[in-house]
Amino acid sequence: MKKVTLITLIAVLSLFVAAGASVGYIAYSFLGSSPSNDSTEVIYEVKPGQSFNAVAKDLEEKGLLKNAFAFSMYARVLNERGNMKRGEYALRADMKPSEVLGVITSGKSVSKPFTVAEGLNIYEISDLYEKQGFGLKADFLTLVKDRTFAQQLLGEPVDSLEGYLFPETYMITKFDNTKDLIASMVRRFLAVYSDIGAAAALPGWSRNQIVTLASIVEKETGAKEDRPLVSSVFHNRLVKKMKLQTDPTILYGMADLSGVMPDNIRKDDILKPTRYNTYVINALPPGPISNPGRESLMATLKPASSKYLYFVSRNDGTTVFSDDLSKHNKAVQTFQVNSKAREGKSWRDLKTSNTVNKK
């Protein structure tokens, strides 16, 4: 903000102060003090089309300014009246006029965090979006499935923006709409994808294929160190023209048909034909099944060198890998069929362990 001397302010105020008043004292008192010592934060909204004088008067009535008239003159001297922007702003009664003016001309509205974890899909993200009060789930899903909108953002035709909503924390203001958020998420994906040099990493692979496999890797393990090996299994199976046979694709295929993400897989679901079920199709699904983070994208682009063709969860977030079916079946018996191996264990244990190790 521009600085103004006390003399200049006095000169302007003197035009409006009644004869005989102590202009210097009024100016000094106004600039150097706040309405009170109350540090309670108040969210104040500057509405579209409001005049500066109307806002100043409202701020005085709410106890956030001492003198609306002096505040308007102060802003005029600084040539800041025209810089006031609509928005929701955090103000306090213990702020001086210069601080209040700086806030309402900053354009930096109060924002709330919206965190998208790695591996969430569009159904889960839209559910969070609605539950946290940012907008309607149906509106979110309609936009991410809008092929015209998706092509505008990505520059190529895709079925939806699944896979391209980069997992991160986004700050949302009252004036950000659903389309703004989705566009920000896709822009973030494009920046990360470019940064890791994905376009040149797998010759012969399209971007959609890379993101699709990364979305599967993301869903299959929470262990950072296991991702390149999980990726190697899928790469090896694709080379051998084997079905990927990954459970998360079953769930996503069901959601693709119903619009609702199921909680679990029943025996009948394993061979139920959908365009995503990799127990049925002998290829990558037509598109991503979740929104992968940087690590899963990197693991897809640079898989570990291995001969592994199978893996099974230890139920704690880590994985056992095998290069032949007999070893894999033994691991399945040990960690999945044996109910005692699953008791009291969760993939969440991995996050707890990682937290302890970092201390």
Q: How far apart are CA 292 and CA 163, in angstroms?
A: 6
Q: How far apart are CA 225 and CA 230, in angstroms?
A: 10
Angle between helices 6-13 and 23-32 (to 10 degrees): 120
Residue 187 has what pLDDT?
98
Pick the CATH number of 6-104 from 3.30.420.40, 3.60.9.10, 3.40.50.80, 3.30.1490.480: 3.30.1490.480
Residue numbers in the chain where pLDDT is lower than 70: 1-28, 317, 338-359
What is the token pair recorded at 130? 């609605």
Q: How far apart are CA 73 and CA 23, in angstroms?
A: 13
Residue 358 has what pLDDT?
34
Residue 251 has what pLDDT?
96
Q: List Cα–Cα distances, 167 to 69, 184, 342, in angstroms.
A: 48, 11, 29
Residue 285 has what pLDDT?
97
Q: Are strands 111-115 and 169-173 parallel, antiparallel or unpaired?
A: antiparallel
DSSP letters for 267-295? GGGTT---SS-TTTSSS--SS-SS---HH
Q: By the 8 A CB rule, do 103 and 130 touch?
A: no
Q: How far apart are CA 238 and CA 213, in angstroms?
A: 11
Q: How far apart are CA 200 and CA 202, in angstroms?
A: 6
Question: For the segment 301-358, what is each residue's pLDDT rounded down to a tens digit?
Answer: 999 999 999 999 887 767 899 999 989 999 888 887 765 655 544 444 444 444 333 3
Q: By the 8 A CB rule, do 207 and 282 touch?
A: no
What is the token pair recorded at 14? 């003197």
Which amino acid, 36? S
Q: List Cα–Cα distances, 164 to 39, 124, 153, in angstroms.
A: 42, 14, 10
Residue 232 has what pLDDT?
97
Which amino acid, 263? D
Residue 223 has what pLDDT?
83
Q: List Cα–Cα distances, 10 to 27, 71, 76, in angstroms.
A: 6, 13, 13
Runs of H (alpha helix) within the chain? 6-13, 23-32, 52-61, 68-77, 97-104, 122-131, 137-144, 147-154, 178-195, 207-220, 227-239, 247-258, 294-301, 325-332, 348-358
What is the token pair recorded at 309? 């063709």
Q: How far apart are CA 156 and CA 154, in angstroms?
A: 5
Within 10 angstroms of residue 79's Cβ, the number of other Cβ atoms is 10
Task: Tell me the pTM.
Answer: 0.81
Q: Where are the domains of the chain?
A: 6-104, 111-195, 202-358
Q: How far apart are CA 212 and CA 244, in angstroms?
A: 12
